[in-house]
Chains A and B, each alone.
Chain A
Amino acid sequence: MNWNILLQQIVNGISLGGVYALMAVGFGLIFNVLKFSNFSHGGVVTLTAYIGFFLSKYLVANFMVTFLVTAAAGGMAAVVIERLVFRPIRRKGYPISMLIVNSITVAMLVQQFFAVTLGSDYYTYPNFIKETALHLGNLTVSKIYLLMLGISAVVLGALTYVIQKTKIGIAIRAASSDISTPSLMGVNVDFVISVAFFFSGVLGGITGYLLGMTFTVDPFIGSMILKGIIASIIGGMGSILGGVIAGLLLGAAESLLIAEIGAALTPMVIYGSIILLLLVRPQGIAGKITEVKA
């Protein structure tokens, strides 16, 4: 194909990758820092997609306001989930597999709940942005995808700073290798973990809102999170930046593959490659090998 088309496909891919990167960051905060795969993140995304819709359709038709409120709602939802579902397990010292099962269950609960109650309607957000495409010469980019990409970058920077430099960040990191360390530092472990979940939930809320704005809101919107989770894992344990980069690569690879070999074969190539990657380099692209007691 000629250069113009190739360039457009790359642009398509990277901007789609921005979506995945945002999801990888939200998931990655808990995954990389607390070393726990929190599948309920998808549930938070679904929930906030609906919340954002109802807020902007029926209460206030203002992008900024509903956006921020939804993000906050996401944060709170995540904290509630942590409190109700994960903390009791953590307190009793159950194996991590129980946490994983419960996180999947929460995701399923949210999806099915919406499928039963609101599943029979399709919802779209009000048109906040009239012209969603940005034209740069011959290329077209979606503004919302760019927004997602931008937010990922900003959040990544902010998170890295917080985690490396602030006391709460250090406490969160310490909590991931040994749950008793933060208390030695004089910080309440439960508080530290709640904070981590709050941030992850806020990111989930942002993701839900933006996804809802771009695509139709339905109960299965949270399933998209699986791509972000995959990106996190390829990116590697312990590195949120790895997850972001992996998300971008995943988006680009998908777009180019679909263009070249069609949507039928693409999943096979992509998942096949991921399996190979994990076989050859189980720590992912940028991760460190952590001793697995499980």
Chain B
Amino acid sequence: MFYLKVLEITSLYTILVLGVYLMTGLTGLFSLGQGGFVSIGAYTAAIAYLRFGVPFPLALALAVIMGALLGFLVGIPTLRLRRDYFLLVTFGLGEMVRAGLLYLAQLTGGALGMAGMPKKVGLPLILASIVVITFITYSLKRSRFGRDCIAIRDDELAASMMGINVYAHKMKVFIISSAITAYGGALYAFNILFIEPNLFNWLESAKLIIITFVGGLNSIAGVIAASAIYYSFGEFFRFIDVWRDVLLAVVVVLVIIFRPGGLFQGLTLLPSKLKRKGR
């Protein structure tokens, strides 16, 4: 039963990693505010179910819609910014969501969090979700749309000169990614059964990005594997689990320097194709 629990938790986080993978792997966007979307998804589903009596499947759908909507609203002003600006703005967004959740204590319980959700989400649903999301990601990657996105990731200026509507592509990807992340948050709420505004901070969001890089920007399987290993690491290597994050950091630095396609390059493009001049 314990390993079941581990598998559940690992898979939940893997969904979140996939959300980031979609965004970062396809268009090169870095977001430190994923936590905001996780929380939005979790709270939307929880509040809909607990306070408004909405049936569970509908609550899930609502979470997804909220995520997509928020992604759209946030995307409008921010997707035209430079990468590092976007990174910071999404960080700010995460903080805003957190502050908002704390403030609307009547609705959300504030710092006290929300509990009382029944366990509606089990391993079958989570695994099925991963399969579906992987399929979506994979098809997107392979499609014309996906190839255009990867072009954007590698060199935005060149891509726009080729006639690709950079902004529209980024927006679509961002919306899908936000929806997936919010979905993950909703699943979390009905599996772990306790949520609070501090659930997912910028550090956890950063870890999602880092794990994506370890897995490989071009390899879905690699990313899933990296995520599975990281989030279940503690169970197999208990005695050094305390050092887990330090190890992750070291691994990432090494991977980026020596094997930038990711640990599990497999299907990835070669590093030489990622090279651009200067900056």
The answer to A–B direct touch (Cβ < 8 A) is yes
Interface residues of A (CB under 8 A from B): 35-37, 84-85, 88-89, 92-98, 100-102, 104-106, 108-109, 111-113, 116, 178-179, 226, 229-230, 233, 264-268, 270-272, 274-276, 278-279, 282, 291-294
**Residue contact A95 to B154, C-beta cutoff 8 Å:** yes
CA distance A294 to B203 in the complex (A): 24
Contact-residue bracket for chain B: 35 or more
Mask of B67-106 contacts with A, CB within 8 angstroms, 1/0: 0000000000110111111011101110110111011000
Q: Which residues of A contact B275 (CB under 8 A)?
A: 92-95
A108-B206 contact given A102-B256, A113-B246, A276-B77, CB 8 Å threshold = yes
Shortest Cβ distance from residue A108 to the other chain B in the assembled complex, whole angstroms: 5
Mask of B155-183 contacts with A, CB within 8 angstroms, 1/0: 11100000000000000000000000000
Shortest Cβ distance from residue A109 to the other chain B in the assembled complex, whole angstroms: 4
Which residues of B from 223 to 279 have beta carbons under 8 Å from A? 242-243, 245-246, 248-250, 252-253, 256-257, 260, 271, 274-279
20 contacts between A and B (CB under 8 A): A96-B83, A102-B253, A102-B257, A105-B249, A105-B252, A108-B203, A109-B245, A109-B246, A116-B242, A226-B91, A226-B202, A229-B88, A233-B88, A272-B96, A278-B77, A278-B89, A279-B77, A282-B80, A292-B156, A293-B157
Is B200 part of the binding interface, using a Cβ–Cβ cutoff of 8 Å? Answer: no
Binding stretch for chain A, among B57-65, B113-121, B207-215: B207-215
**Residue contact B260 to A98, C-beta cutoff 8 Å:** yes
**Residue contact B78 to A275, C-beta cutoff 8 Å:** yes
Q: Within the complex, which residue of A97, A112, A113, A229 is in contact with B83, where a contact is CB–CB below 8 Å? A: A97
CA distance A111 to B249 in the complex (A): 11
Interface residues of B (CB under 8 A from A): 28, 30, 77-78, 80-85, 87-89, 91-93, 95-96, 98-100, 102-103, 154-157, 202-203, 206-207, 209-210, 213, 242-243, 245-246, 248-250, 252-253, 256-257, 260, 271, 274-279
A271-B203 contact given A109-B246, A282-B81, CB 8 Å threshold = no
Q: Which residues of A contact B103 (CB under 8 A)?
A: 264-265, 268
**Residue contact A178 to B99, C-beta cutoff 8 Å:** no
Chain A residue, CB-CB nearest to B207: A108
Q: Within the complex, which residue of A95, A104, A116 is in contact with B276, where a contact is CB–CB below 8 Å? A: A95
Q: Which residues of B contact A116 (CB under 8 A)?
A: 242-243, 246
**Residue contact A282 to B99, C-beta cutoff 8 Å:** no
A264-B92 contact given A96-B279, A105-B253, A293-B156, CB 8 Å threshold = no
Q: Which residues of A contact B88 (CB under 8 A)?
A: 37, 226, 229-230, 233
**Residue contact A101 to B100, C-beta cutoff 8 Å:** no
Q: Within the complex, which residue of A92, A226, A233, A271 is in contact with B85, where a contact is CB–CB below 8 Å? A: A233
CA distance A230 to B87 in the complex (A): 11
A294-B253 contact given A104-B210, A108-B203, CB 8 Å threshold = no
**Residue contact B95 to A101, C-beta cutoff 8 Å:** no
Most buried by B among A88, A98, A101, A266: A101
List of 9 A-B pairs having minimum Cβ-Cβ separation, nearest first: A109-B249, A271-B92, A37-B84, A112-B245, A279-B77, A267-B99, A264-B103, A88-B257, A93-B275
